[in-house]
A and B are shown apart, each in its own frame.
Chain A
């Protein structure tokens, strides 16, 4: 099965069994191993990537469903020497211990901040018609699809809050 994908701005032509998840396509076929496989069932968020700007679990979608889509992985957000604001903030605030969930956390947070800018409400937003204000409770709720077994949540929240408030431009 042939699938054409744009990954981090580069065109890839993938030839793979239709069972291949987007996650396995990235890691095993395209050797972009920044995206991590945790639970492989959409529960942990380690595999989060952006598809056409939106965050999804790459383990719960087939690569062949994404013919023509634009995918951004952690490798596309920044590279050593040219880190994205969230990547810099995670380093500064020590937003990890083992680091395994970190690519998913950063991809997720990148899209989450765009969702907040677009006015998307969350479960903890008081009035779903108001522009949400990014409190700690909002960050915790909006990032609940990304687990960190080292429990670095306080520093992850601090890193995200710092970027939301204009740090690390």
Chain B
């Protein structure tokens, strides 16, 4: 691990000031950052420890939603009684990821910002446009089993690894950010950037920006599920995952929100897929039509071609679970 200056931030303003310098990084749980620092994939010159900041509460908002502090651990978020009762898809997604030890340390803000597990990003002897812009992409033409079928570019086909963020995307969460010009709220869907020709820029965060809270709208109710397919039964990243929230009116889908993990460089939500399903009675053909829309622009890179039929089946299984049909 390269040497760094360690700063323990006593307030958000001081944390942001310390993080404005070149090569500074915030550290919260550290479960991903320290792993990457040991491998020298990341080598911040200054580490700004934000663990003492007062961002560890989960509260009800004035709009009857929830505000989750950026430092709330994945465990505390998953077991919160209100989250479990009214946003169970979030609990299910969190407990589908990582291990008990990691969830106890990893935070809400850190989970959103975790880096891809693309092996070419991790291996500093390989080219990677994300790690070292302009060096090329080792994955394209290489081993692609875990890689994206949607949203990638000629420069990067890495996937976003989070389960939690997939559920937050289906729930329509916003990210609250404290920055130079005060507080702002960004919908999670707009928070992440697709790789294009700048895969090293993953979010809309500017230097010194601090995620303070994640805001959930009022509970959508209905039936909520998170279905994850992976190479092991536990403690593995998703090949494909689906977060589904459905409100039924008899046999008809009244409201639906879907998002997908393992498919793309960000948690993937496509409103056109939801439009296909909304106000329709449940049939197997309907689930297939939804998958057709989702996969209209999907392209495998060889070893990940299997994700195309796999997500079709995983979507159908998740929809069957929450609609009660087929």
Contact = CB atoms under 8 A, between A and B. Distances in A.
Interface of A: 1, 17-19, 21, 40-42, 45, 48, 54-57, 60-62, 64-65, 67, 108, 111-112, 115, 118-123, 125, 128-129, 140-146
Contacts of B92: 123, 128
B134 to A, nearest CB: 28
Secondary structure dominating the interface of A: loop
Given A19-B4, A64-B6, A120-B75, A144 B234 contact: yes
Contacts of A112: 100
Interface stretch (B30-38, B124-132, B164-172, B278-286): B30-38
Interface string B89-102: 00110011011111
Contacts of B38: 40-41
Interface stretch (B77-85, B215-223, B246-254): B77-85
B31 A57 contact: yes
Measured as residues with beta carbon below 8 angstroms from the partner, the interface class of chain B is: 35 or more
A128 B84 CA distance: 6
A18 B84 contact: no
Contacts of A54: 75, 104
6 contacts: A57-B105, A60-B31, A60-B105, A62-B30, A112-B100, A145-B102
Interface of B: 1, 3-6, 8, 27, 29-31, 34-35, 38, 47, 49, 51, 75, 78-79, 84-85, 88, 91-92, 95-96, 98-102, 104-105, 233-235
B35 A41 contact: yes
Contacts of B100: 55, 108, 111-112, 115, 142-145
Contacts of B96: 123
Contacts of A21: 34
B34 A123 contact: no
B34 A61 contact: yes
A65 B4 CA distance: 14
Contacts, number: 103
Nearest to B30: A61
Nearest to B228: A123
Nearest to A141: B234
A42 B101 contact: yes
A117 to B, nearest CB: 12
A49 B34 CA distance: 17
A158 to B, nearest CB: 19
Contacts of B27: 62, 65
A156 B168 CA distance: 35
Contacts of A108: 100-101
B101 A121 contact: no
Given A120-B79, A129-B84, A129-B88, A55 B101 contact: yes
A21 B95 CA distance: 26
Contacts of A60: 30-31, 34-35, 102, 105
A80 B8 CA distance: 39
B79 A119 contact: yes
Closest 3 CB pairs of A and B: A145-B99, A144-B234, A18-B6
A42 B102 CA distance: 8
A40 to B, nearest CB: 7
A128 B234 contact: no
Given A62-B30, A128-B91, A18 B104 contact: no
B34 A55 contact: no
Nearest to B31: A60
Contacts of B3: 17, 19
Contact of A62 (B34, B35, B233): B34
Nearest to A115: B100
Contacts of A144: 99-100, 233-235
A19 to B, nearest CB: 5
With most chain A CB atoms within 10 A of its CB, the pick from B27, B31, B38, B104 is B104
